[in-house]
Structure 1
Amino acid sequence: MELEAGALVAGGDALGRMPSGKVVFIEGALPGETIEVELTDLRRDYAKAIATRVISASTNRVTPSCPHVADRCGGCQWQHLALGAQYEAKVRIAIESLVRIGRVAVNDDLVMRAASGGRLPGAGYRTTVRLAFDAHGRPGFRERSTNRVVPVGECLVAHPRLHRAIAAITSRPGSDVEVTLRCSAATEVVGAVVHGDERSVRGLEAVDVLGDDARLVETVHGTDLVVSMGSFFQSGVAAADLLVDAVCLLAGPEALSGTFGQVVDAYGGVGLFAATIVPTHVPVTLIESNPRAVADARVNLASRRATIIESTVEAWNAQPAGLVIADPARTGLGAAGVAVLAATRAPVIVLVSCDAAAGARDVRLLSDAGYELDDLLVLDLFPHTNHLEMVTRLCRINASDESRPVTRFFEGLAPPAA
């Protein structure tokens, strides 16, 4: 079947339409292309297809740098799309989500500011990967939408320090086991966590530390952070740096300096934001539910005026705040999380969303709770994938003018002095 491909959507596919008018999500196609497709799933309201031949190619189509793309490795969906065009697509997806789901009125100025967020280079940026193993025990990554494992010798987007471990680690054939690898870009120490029977994994001598409680040290914004293998951390230190830059910029120096009240770091993890951009004299409350991350945060914030609460945000008894930084899981804040954050009556909320639809829903809920979208940055922390990071600044509508931040994108990314 021959189809015309339209815009890229959040799942990474291009939209098309069958002769009947039914919507088709086309894997491997790019906007403006004429392609031959093979239908893989036919539903009442939509269909899914794979591009099997490109008849008329987009000018943004490039040859993938990684040979495993041809084997349908599911790690990178967009290696056939030029890096600049990947970022443009992510900005458009974020903006469209805010308009359609968040009910935000968008102008050209907001779009231009959103597109100034920045992106990572296309290789070596991931310091964390999760290996699966095929029937022969060879390490690799899963094919998109299936459980089939595509064996890999090395990975284009993995940090070079991980290549030796990826090549060395195997499993006993037929074992149901996976291995998470993480390295520190600062110290080059490599850690591993085995998900399943550790006795079935071979080659673990290629790593330096083992287990959820093993700790690495990473340096972000010039600050050393302790990160346990069992704690969530960004995909790499370059991603963490870029994200911290964006949050710092949108928060603004007044709010970060404690002028309007304490800083609340919700879903604070190991203290990525509280330890890097909140000045040491400013009171900060970090809320995190993962015990290992809480233990790491206690180390990372030991020299600061920090209160660390091991709890879900939804169960936290909200206190007045001058600034809230929130970095929830992919599902977003939801109604319960929004209710708690709004109860702080913070004049400024900086929201980090790794899913455009969830972030847009949260913006709409926060709007209903008395906040308005003031600024937006879209980041590409996962080149060659459809994943994006959306950082939004929301201001309380009835907050005084003095408590509304004046920082704008063109003022640079330098954090306030400690």
Structure 2
Amino acid sequence: MRLSIEKVVYGGSGIARQEGQASAGTVFVPFTLPGEEIDADLISTDGSRMDASVKELISASSDRVLPRCIHFGVCGGCQFQHASYDAQLSLKREILQETLQRAGLSSLPEIEIHAAEPWEYRNRIRLRLQEFDGKLRAGYLKRGSTEFLPIQMCPIAAPILWQAAEILLDVLEAFPQWAKATQEIELFTADEEQKIQLTFFLSSMPAKNFAELCNALLLRIPQLAGAGAQVIETPGKSRRFQRAIPIESWGAAGLTYNVGEESYWVGRGSFFQVNRFLVSRLVQLATGGRGGRLAWDLYAGVGLFSRVLAKNFAEVVAVEVEKGNLEANFRGEGRRAVAATTLEFLRQAVLERDRPELIVMDPPRAGVGTEVCSLIGRLKTPEVVYVSCDPATLSRDLREMVDSGYKMDQLHLVDMFPQTFHQETVTVLRR
């Protein structure tokens, strides 16, 4: 097919229209840019949707650049390395705006973009370990498949993480039982790469010499602060259906992560924002210039926003399902950590008289949902800050918030995930 790429959509593919043929419909083509002319090979059809790949690039966009990673296009991790960074930001802005408008949201505030260094930003990576060509290798999955892809680099990861992974592969040669049992590893580093936490995900429990393995790693990786091992109950299934049981621990159970003037204790395996260059900016957008009597931080995690809010509010309530890390980070007068789901907390809160002046919420990708939006609408909180990592669920929830009386006052696109289609937004709503 000869195609003209019209635009890029969420997920990273360019789209074109195939008209006037038996197979007429929308064609999705990865690794293309608006305005490009291509010859494409059809891969699959599903109703009016067709998926294709680039057979030949006839006319390239001026925004096209050479990818930095040798695995780009085969690896499932990145979608935008073929676009200049300015082009990536422009594409993400257009995608966010169109997604919001499609949900019926009009009179949008201007989208402000916040960006930083687009490479070596990830403070956490999770790698699969597998024998390949007779040697233990680390890697990811091939794009659109469950097939293992051994890698030689990962330029979006903090350099120390891939260095540590290569050393681990070398050290595991002396620990064959651990090499055989390890399915995946997760590496997490602090803001300045001064400390590393390592987690092994195992198919079975190998020999009882975990401390010996970790001490051997420490000789080669002096930044190693701690390590843990977990046995996966359902090996071979996708992570969504896996349950891992901790069985071994060595060293510290987490590390201290500095963000601006604050230091947070982040336990091994706990959620933390992945972009080490933009976390401070995200915190500033969500909390800066706000103060008063009472604020609620919903989906509080380790207390990233709660700690900063507590400087300017007399009382801050931080809500998280499991408050282990939150409790460690959020103690003292005027600070209250609540172990509950946001929905449980809000259901109870609407029955009580206390009303916050500010709500900050940073939910997972699924968003907050209709009932949470409805309960917040009943509370009539003057200002709500919604931090989101998915424009589709954000649009759905913002539609609910606007219908309950809120108006979007600010809209920030924070590029926490350069080279990928993912995007983070901060929306400020006021009544």
TM range (shorter): 0.7 to 0.9
Equivalent residue number for residue 268 of structure 1: 300
Higher mean Cα deviation, 77-86 or 304-313?
Answer: 304-313
Instruction: Give the letter aligned to residue 208 of structure 1.
Output: A
Matched-pair contact (CA < 8 Å) for 1:118–1:378:
yes
Equivalent residue number for residue 235 of structure 2: none
The aligned length equals 379
1:8-48 CA-to-partner distances (Å, cap 9, x unmatched) read 10111011122433101111111110112222221112011
Instruction: Give the letter aligned to residue 266 of structure 1.
Output: L
Shift of the 182–322 alpha-carbon distance from structure 1 to 2, 3 Å rule, reads: same
Equivalent residue number for residue 240 of structure 1: 279
Root mean square deviation of aligned Cα: 2.2
Q: How far apart are the structure 1 equivalents of 2:100 and 2:333?
A: 36
Higher mean Cα deviation, 339-348 or 270-279?
Answer: 339-348
Equivalent residue number for residue 306 of structure 1: 335
Kindly, what percent of the aligned residue pairs are identical? 29
TM-score normalised by structure 1 residue count? 0.85
Equivalent residue number for residue 13 of structure 2: 13
Equivalent residue number for residue 104 of structure 1: 105
Matched-pair contact (CA < 8 Å) for 2:303–2:326:
yes
Superposed counterparts of 1:365-404, under 5 Å = 365-396=400-431
Matched-pair contact (CA < 8 Å) for 2:298–2:361:
yes
Instruction: Give the letter aligned to residue 182 of structure 1.
Output: F
- Structure 2: which 5+ residue stretches go unaligned? 173-177, 229-245
Superposed counterparts of 1:85-234, under 5 Å = 85-101=87-103, 103-106=104-107, 110-111=109-110, 114=111, 116-136=112-132, 137-170=136-169, 177-186=183-192, 188-197=194-203, 205=217, 206=221, 207-211=224-228, 214-234=253-273
1:204-251 CA-to-partner distances (Å, cap 9, x unmatched) read 6254311378211100122110001221101133231121122134xx
Matched-pair contact (CA < 8 Å) for 2:25–2:50:
yes
1:92-126 CA-to-partner distances (Å, cap 9, x unmatched) read 1111111111x22136xx33xx1x33112121100
Instruction: Say yes or no: does 1:356 pair with 2:391.
Output: yes
Q: How far apart are the structure 1 equivalents of 2:403 and 2:182?
A: 46
Match 1:49 to one of 52, 63, 80:
52
Task: Report deviation, 1:173.
Answer: 7.7
Matched-pair contact (CA < 8 Å) for 1:134–1:150:
no
Instruction: Give the letter aligned to residue 78 of structure 1.
Output: F
Structure 1 residue matching 2:410: 3-state secondary structure: strand
Task: Report deviation, 1:130.
Answer: 0.8
1:125-161 CA-to-partner distances (Å, cap 9, x unmatched) read 0010110134423101112211122212331011122
Equivalent residue number for residue 82 of structure 1: 84
Instruction: Say yes or no: does 1:284 pair with 2:280.
Output: no
Instruction: Say yes or no: does 1:297 pair with 2:313.
Output: no
Q: Which structure carries more relative contact order (alpha carbon 8 Å, separation 6+)? A: 1
Equivalent residue number for residue 415 of structure 1: none
Equivalent residue number for residue 344 of structure 1: 379
The structure with more radius of gyration: 2
Shift of the 58–183 alpha-carbon distance from structure 1 to 2, 3 Å rule, reads: same
Structure 2 residue matching 1:262: 3-state secondary structure: strand
Higher mean Cα deviation, 344-353 or 190-199?
Answer: 190-199
Structure 1 residue matching 2:64: 3-state secondary structure: coil
Matched-pair contact (CA < 8 Å) for 2:117–2:277:
no
Runs of 4+ in 1 over 3 A off after TM superposition: 169-176, 197-204
Equivalent residue number for residue 291 of structure 2: 257
Structure 1 residue matching 2:280: 3-state secondary structure: helix
- Structure 1: which 5+ residue stretches go unaligned? 397-418
Q: How far apart are the structure 2 equivalents of 1:169 and 1:311?
A: 38
Instruction: Give the letter aligned to residue 193 of structure 1.
Output: T
Structure 2 residue matching 1:42: 3-state secondary structure: strand
Match 2:359 to one of 324, 327, 333:
324
